[in-house]
A and B are shown apart, each in its own frame.
Chain A
Amino acid sequence: MAKILCVPLDPVHDVGIKIINAELAKHGHQTLLLQPDLPMETIVKRAAEGEYDFIMVSRTLGYGVAELLARFTDLLDAAGIRERSKVVIGGKPVTPELAAELGYDKGFGAQSTIDEVIAYVEGRELPKEAAGYTRTRRDIAGKYSYKFFDKEIESLLDSICDKLLAWADGKTSPGVERMKLRDAMLRETNPATFADLRARYNALCDRTITDANEHKILPKGVRVVSAGEREALATFLGTSTPYQPVRIQHNDAQPVVFKFLGSGCPVMDITHGKICERWGINGFLIINPSWEARYEGLIEGCLTHENDGTITSLENIRLMRESLDESTLLTVRAHRGLNTPETVLLAGEAGANLSKIDLVYGSLGAGTDPERISVDGIEAMRLCARYGMAFDIPGNDELSGVPSWKTLAGLLINVMLGKKLGAKAILKPLFCYGPHIVLNGQMKQNFVDYNTAKIYALRHIVDCPIWPGEPIAFMTQSEERIQSANTTSYHAALAATLGVDAITIASTDEAYSRGPICITSRIDTIRAVTDAFRFMGDAQIAPSAMAGVYTDEILTKIREVLREVEAKPTLHDAIYAGLLGSEEDGAYPGKFGSGTVTHLKE
Chain B
Amino acid sequence: MHIIGIVGTAKNTGKTTTLAALIDEAGRRRARIGVTGIGYDGEEIDTITGLPKPRLMLQAGTIVATSEQCLLATSAGYAVIKETDARTALGRVVIVEILTPGLMVLAGPNTKRLLSVVLDDMEALGLGAVFVDGSLNRIAAMSVVETMVFTTGASHSTEISFLSEEAHAIRGMFIGAECAGDPFPQRITVTDTSGVETGTLALRSLFDAEDTSRLLAVLTDTAARIDIPNMVTLEALECLALHAASLKPKGRTLVLADPTIALLAGEPRATLRAMRALSAHGFTIGYRHSITVGAMTVNPFYPSQRDHVFVPAYIDGDTLLRTVSGAVDVPVFNIKDNGAAVALYEHLMP
Contacts and interface: CB of A to CB of B under 8 A. Distances in A.
Interface string B221-236: 0000000001101010
A66 B230 CA distance: 25
Contact of A67 (B10, B110, B208, B303): B10
Given A48-B206, A49-B205, A103 B39 contact: yes
Contact of A82 (B113, B139, B261): B113
A237 interface: no
B205 A44 contact: yes
A78 B260 contact: yes
B205 A103 contact: no
13 contacts: A44-B206, A45-B208, A67-B10, A70-B138, A74-B138, A78-B112, A78-B143, A96-B90, A98-B47, A99-B89, A100-B89, A100-B110, A101-B107
Contacts of A98: 40, 47-48
3 A-B pairs closest in CB distance: A48-B205, A99-B89, A77-B140
Contacts of B231: 44, 75, 78-80
B136 A104 contact: no
A534 interface: no
Contacts of B208: 41, 45
A105 interface: yes
A97 B41 CA distance: 9
Contacts, number: 120
Interface residues of B toward A: which range?
A: 35 or more
B43 interface: yes
A102 B88 contact: no
A155 B205 CA distance: 86
A73 interface: yes
Interface of A: 41, 44-45, 47-49, 61, 63, 66-67, 70-71, 73-75, 77-83, 95-107
Contact of B137 (A67, A82, A96): A67
B347 interface: no
Nearest to B47: A98
B277 interface: no
Given A77-B112, A78-B260, A101 B230 contact: no
B111 interface: yes
A587 to B, nearest CB: 56
B147 interface: no
Contacts of A106: 89
Q: Secondary structure at chain A's binding surface: helix, strand, loop or mixed?
A: helix
A49 B202 CA distance: 13
A80 B205 contact: yes
A107 B89 contact: yes
Contacts of B140: 73-75, 77-78
A332 B287 CA distance: 77
A95 B40 CA distance: 11
Chain B interface mostly helix, strand, loop or mixed? loop
Given A78-B231, A96-B69, A101 B141 contact: no
Given A70-B138, A100-B89, A78 B39 contact: no
A95 B45 CA distance: 14
A97 B113 CA distance: 21
B201 to A, nearest CB: 15
Contacts of B40: 97-98, 100-101
B11 interface: yes
Interface string B113-154: 100000000000000000000011111110100000000000
B260 A101 contact: no
Contacts of B319: none
B174 to A, nearest CB: 16
B41 A48 contact: no
B60 interface: no
B230 A80 contact: yes
A70 B136 contact: yes
Interface in B164-213: 204-206, 208
Contacts of A104: 89, 110
A103 B204 contact: no
B75 interface: no
A82 B230 contact: no
A63 B230 CA distance: 30
B87 interface: yes
A242 B136 CA distance: 31
A486 B199 CA distance: 75
A79 B67 contact: no
Given A67-B136, A101-B135, A41 B47 contact: no
Interface string B262-287: 00100000000000000000000000
B100 interface: no
B161 interface: no
Which has the most chain B C-beta neighbours within 10 Å: A61, A73, A100? A100
Contacts of A77: 111-112, 140-141
A283 B32 CA distance: 56
B230 A79 contact: yes
Interface in B61-79: 67, 69
B206 A45 contact: yes
Given A48-B205, A103-B138, 17 more contacts: A44-B231, A45-B204, A45-B206, A63-B310, A66-B11, A70-B138, A74-B139, A75-B140, A75-B231, A75-B264, A80-B230, A82-B113, A97-B40, A99-B89, A100-B88, A100-B107, A102-B39
Contacts of A80: 205, 230-231
A106 B90 CA distance: 8
A105 B38 contact: no
A81 B136 contact: no
Contacts of B69: 96
